[in-house]
Amino acid sequence: MKIAFFDTKAYDRDIFQRVNEKFNLKIKFFDTKLTEDSVSLAKGYNIVCVFVNDVLNKNVIDKLVENGVSLIALRCAGFNNVDFPAIDGRLKVVRVPAYSPYAVAEHAATLMLSLNRKIHKAYARTREGNFTLSGLVGFDMNGKTAGIIGTGKIAKILINILQGFGMKVIANDPYPDYEAAVKMGFEYVELDRLYKESDIISLHCPLTKETEYIINKDSIDKMKDGVMIINTGRGKLINSVALIDGLKTKKIGSAGLDVYEEEAEYFFEDKSDMVIIDDVLARLLTFNNVLITSHQAFLTREALANIATTTLESIDDFINKRELKNEIAYICDNIKCVIKDMKLN
């Protein structure tokens, strides 16, 4: 079977080629994202492998089926870009449920520390010979409260890190792991209390209809003055316009974003010679208390190796008609499409 990889970068091609020495699969790498305009490239391929910003709407899925594609392999954990009702059992879908929760948790902690101690500002200053300390005052994380929304693998690792700083941790999750809470020493609370008491709020929940814009004007109004917000999950967990308003009024003291709700046009690409026409993203980039990274939380050597290995193992299992351990289990009827396992993080 022939496999088309979309939206690949040099680091993708390097690691997948090395791991593929074990499997000897027939892979073709494309730089372009999978969209309605590029889906014709999948003609003649049996399997497509895609990433977080590839488009898998009804039109694309219909064309993939028409072209003879029988498996979609997501080389990521999230799948909010997949229109499952349109799939309706015509294709199999697999993902990488966990590539390195340490990578994402450590990046979230990095954003917190950098924002708190103004590392990005200090770096820019000293590069120009400015060694003043004005405007670089941070706070002791010891004794402060961190609110964690979503308590999967990534969040639990982050909780351990933050407790190492001496922080109190409170959390919210629709599927609470009370055993872990007792063992690790954190407390599950209602969202309103989490908003009210947290000095830092970090998002680690999947993007669903229930969590879309979980950070919005109403929730921001309930937060502590000067709260720090960290998002290494999905862009649409935060209403960016409400975030900007909170930053302007100083209700939000700082924000660390590894994702952005309209990131597909910009993230993973070099746009340094272009004007950013996304007014919201352009505005966020003007705040010196906002630190934006381009969806790189996952980007460690260990994570890339795990992504490649898990993805190619799933493809090899599909080709050889073995059980698909990482298949996304879903049930579709004429009314709704239900994902069985929503504990993704």
Q: Is 234 a catalytic residue?
A: yes
Mean of pLDDT over the chain: 94
**What percent of the chain shows pLDDT beyond 70?**
96
What does the pLDDT look like over 38-51, one tens digit per residue?
Answer: 999 999 999 999 99
- Using alpha carbons, select from 291, 309, 143, 307 the residue that is nearest to residue 228: 291
Q: Is 263 a catalytic residue?
A: yes
Q: Residue 55: is its pLDDT beyond 70?
A: yes
Q: What is the strand order of the sheet 187-188 is part of?
A: 187-188, 168-172, 145-149, 200-203, 227-231, 252-257, 290-292
What's the average model confidence in pLDDT over 324-332? 82
Q: Residue 75: is its pLDDT beyond 70?
A: yes
Identify the active-site residue in 263, 301, 302, 323. 263
CA distances from 307 to 1, 180, 252, 312 (A): 20, 27, 35, 8
pTM of the predicted model, to two decimals?
0.87
Q: Residue 344: is its pLDDT beyond 50?
A: no
Per-residue pLDDT band at 331 (split at 50, 70, 90): low
Identify the active-site residue in 95, 234, 261, 313. 234
Identify the active-site residue in 75, 204, 295, 313. 295
- Using alpha carbons, select from 178, 152, 156, 154 the residue that is nearest to residue 169: 156
Domains of the chain and any CATH numbers: 2-99+301-339 (3.40.50.720), 101-292 (3.40.50.720)
Q: Is 295 a catalytic residue?
A: yes
